[in-house]
Chains A and B, each alone.
Chain A
Amino acid sequence: MSTLVTLPVLLPILGAALTVLAARSARTQRLIGIVVLAAVSVVAAVLLVAADRTGPVVAELGGWPAPVGIVLVADRLSALLLLISTVVTLAVLVYAIGQRISDYGRETASTTFHPIFLLLSTGVSLAYLTGDLFSLFVAFEIMLAASYVLITRRTNASRIRSGMTYVIISLTSSLLFLTTIALVYAATGTVNLADLAGRVAALPEGLRTLLSMLTIVTFGIKAAMVPLHFWLPDSYPNAPAPVTALFAGLLTKVGVYALLRTQTLVFPGTGPSAVLLVLAVLTMVVGALGALAQDDLNRLLSFLLVSHIGFMLFGLAVYDARGAAGTALYIVHHITVQATLFLVSGLITRRTGTVSIEAMGGLARRAPVLAVLFAIPALTLAGIPPTSGFVAKLALLQAGATGGAATAVVAGFVVLASLLTLYAMVRVWVRVFWGTEKEPLSDDDPTDELVVGTARASRPMYAATVALVAVSIAIAVAAGPLSAVTEKAGADLMARTPYVEAVLG
């Protein structure tokens, strides 16, 4: 069983190696990517079942026990997030393959796209599974290095410029992360998370607060928490649709996961955290208001992404088992729906030739399938019953209502931000899908970022989007068993002992 835990990390690397070697056959490359990600999904599902039944599954690399060796740990939370992330990654890969076939032809092989895509998946898996702080840094670096390549390839000067913002911000946060690890190691003499759980408690109050705040800032940049969010709406919308979907779906959520893990395991608090509550409110409101001001569809979705990071922070800030469970459920729902929305936005853009909402119109009559594909995730994101968004928000609101006066007030902001999300989505719906039909715009001026030109959308692109919509519906249908798992995951996070005992024995 312990070997299984290493597979989500090793299989994508193996796939990356094989796709580089198969650089001349586009068909083989596609096959390897899909097979590897499907295999990792299966492994993640098995791990989730095992972790739910018998407790965290631990792999000691090289047979070295913790805290000396490096451990990979799959508990309920990490296995669940690993599963949903891999499924979304697989769907995005299928979409990307479809888009590459449409744009560059069936025979176009690449020595970069497939290997880098799989390496990104390696980084995400390692971030979820790792049991020590330094491997978490390595995971983020793998993920970011791969994302630097994906965001800047096959692109023009203005996109490279916005890509540079992303690279510089990410390098800054990596530097901060490394500094934090050095300070943590200097203070405690260990980087193993389970070992830290015991040792950090013995540190002086001030030092503990400093280290805790440093991790909040570090992971806050990665998670795009207001006021550290400014890089996201400038960089994500400039990448191709599948890349944006992958980044929006996974990368920020890995930051939230890291925050959730460290704040509960290493820096446990007592009761609601005032700092995180304020940050959560700011993130929710600033993101939602920012979204209302956008004309560019992708920028609008990026601001909504920021807004919904606030929801996850809120669950963490409540700081009890219900809150943590709500955050876990919200991450699962949001990874799916945000990736879906960006994929749909890619399909819409290909038909209208522009990302400007003002320049679109009457799409519901011309493309009814697209309208349905947009409406479902849009309502899900806003949290209309009976979608998965409603289930996740309900869990958060319940946590807020029982957490005390302060969290109840912030729960009000959750409702407000949900309404603003709904308003933003309705606005998109009215402008894009209703109204007078407008002619698709052709790309006459390549430097204009709003008009990007139309293109054909191949069948795999629709299939992948439909599959993701189906996954988000499935989350709503399976809400009962799913929230049972997240509630136990939340209880595990707060109790800390299941994780610590599984790792340290």
Chain B
Amino acid sequence: MTTREPVPFTQWDEPEGEWTLPGACPVRSNRTLMLEAAARFLFPTVLVFSVYLLIVGHYAPGGGFPGGLVAGLAFVLRYIAGGESEGAEIGSRFVVRPPVLMGLGLLVAVVSALAPVAFGAPVLASAKVTFEIPLVGTVDLVSSLLIDIGVYLLIIGVVLDLLRSLGSGIERDAREAAGEEAGP
């Protein structure tokens, strides 16, 4: 009697291509094509939209906090689409670790709050630069945008840290607990 190599169980709709980051989700049957494809297209779009919210925040609804949350949602979408491995990558693959992002955001915000003092203005004062861009129109840039950028970075850092500690961290704990029970 000959033993055959076990044929991996496949289904017709199992995704073949690399829709998310290369190497994501090694277990192919755990992948969902729809979500992965959608995440692939939505991720940059949502990020651009978050930057839009960040910039218009001075005059219209938006600002650093909503912008940061929307950008964070883009990462949440990736995490859900990419599953476990994507979660682990949030901790390891990014060049900038989430706490550093948080610290950087806080630093930018505090420094831009104190910066006006160097120009003889009160703390948290803001200056405005208005210039014309052809086809776009008049653009107002306000120095308090820097504080918003700080908050934006801070919020992204917080969301990534949550994904790392509460997302993939809990999955890892669950895996370890299951491994212990299966052991002797």
Contact = CB atoms under 8 A, between A and B. Distances in A.
Given A18-B107, A62-B122, A63-B125, A3 B117 contact: yes
Interface string A14-35: 1011111101000000000000
A23 B113 CA distance: 24
A59 interface: yes
Could you tell me the dominant secondary structure of chain A's interface residues? helix
A122 B113 CA distance: 15
A111 B106 contact: no
Contacts of A18: 103, 107
Contacts of A20: 99-100, 102-103, 106
Contact of B110 (A2, A17, A62, A63): A17
A72 to B, nearest CB: 9
Given A3-B117, A10-B113, A21 B125 contact: no
A13, A20, A61 pick with most chain B CB within 10 angstroms: A20
Contacts of A62: 122-126
B35 interface: no
B121 interface: yes
A336 interface: no
A78 to B, nearest CB: 17
A60 B171 CA distance: 49
B103 A13 contact: no
Nearest to B161: A111
Interface residues of B, number: 20
Contacts of B114: 6, 10, 14
Contacts of A3: 117, 122-123
A9 to B, nearest CB: 9
A164 B109 CA distance: 32
Nearest to B99: A111
B112 to A, nearest CB: 11
B104 interface: yes
Nearest to B114: A10
A6 B105 CA distance: 19
Given A10-B113, A20-B100, A23-B99, A63 B106 contact: no
Contacts of B113: 6, 10
A194 B17 CA distance: 65
B122 A59 contact: yes
Contacts of A2: 122-123
Interface size class of A (residues with CB under 8 A): 20 to 34
A2 B125 CA distance: 13
B123 A10 contact: yes
B100 A63 contact: no
A61 B111 CA distance: 15
A21 B124 contact: no
A167 B67 CA distance: 29
B108 to A, nearest CB: 8
Contacts of B100: 20-21, 23
A6 B107 contact: no
B75 to A, nearest CB: 19
B107 to A, nearest CB: 4
Contacts of B123: 2-3, 6, 10, 59, 61-62
Interface in A394-425: none
Contact of B124 (A13, A14, A61): A61
Interface in A1-57: 2-3, 6, 10, 13-14, 16-21, 23
Nearest to B113: A10
Interface in A188-210: none
A63 B99 contact: no
A60 B109 CA distance: 18
Contacts of A13: 106, 109-110
A16 B125 contact: no
A297 B121 CA distance: 52
Contacts of A6: 113-114, 123-124
B107 A61 contact: no
A203 B125 CA distance: 35
A3 B117 CA distance: 8
Nearest to A5: B123
B125 A10 contact: no
A6 B121 CA distance: 13
A340 B125 CA distance: 41
Given A3-B117, A14-B110, A17-B110, A60 B104 contact: no
Given A20-B100, A23-B99, A63 B122 contact: yes
Given A10-B114, A13-B110, A111-B99, A63 B121 contact: yes
B176 to A, nearest CB: 18
Interface in A330-362: none
Nearest to B121: A63
Interface in B142-160: none
B106 to A, nearest CB: 4
A17 B114 CA distance: 14
A60 B103 contact: no
Interface string A89-122: 0000000000000000000000100010000000
Contacts of B125: 62-63
A63 B121 CA distance: 8
Contacts of B126: 62
A47 to B, nearest CB: 15
B110 A21 contact: no
Contacts of A21: 100, 103-104, 107
A17 B154 CA distance: 10
A5 to B, nearest CB: 9
B27 to A, nearest CB: 31
Give 6 closest A-B pairs by Cβ, nearest first.
A20-B103, A17-B106, A17-B107, A21-B103, A62-B124, A63-B122
Interface of B: 99-100, 102-107, 109-111, 113-114, 117, 121-126
21 contacts: A2-B122, A10-B110, A13-B106, A14-B111, A17-B104, A17-B106, A17-B107, A17-B110, A18-B107, A19-B103, A20-B100, A21-B100, A21-B104, A23-B103, A59-B122, A59-B123, A61-B123, A61-B124, A62-B125, A62-B126, A111-B99
Given A14-B111, A17-B106, 11 more contacts: A6-B124, A10-B113, A14-B106, A17-B107, A18-B103, A18-B107, A20-B106, A21-B100, A23-B103, A62-B125, A63-B122
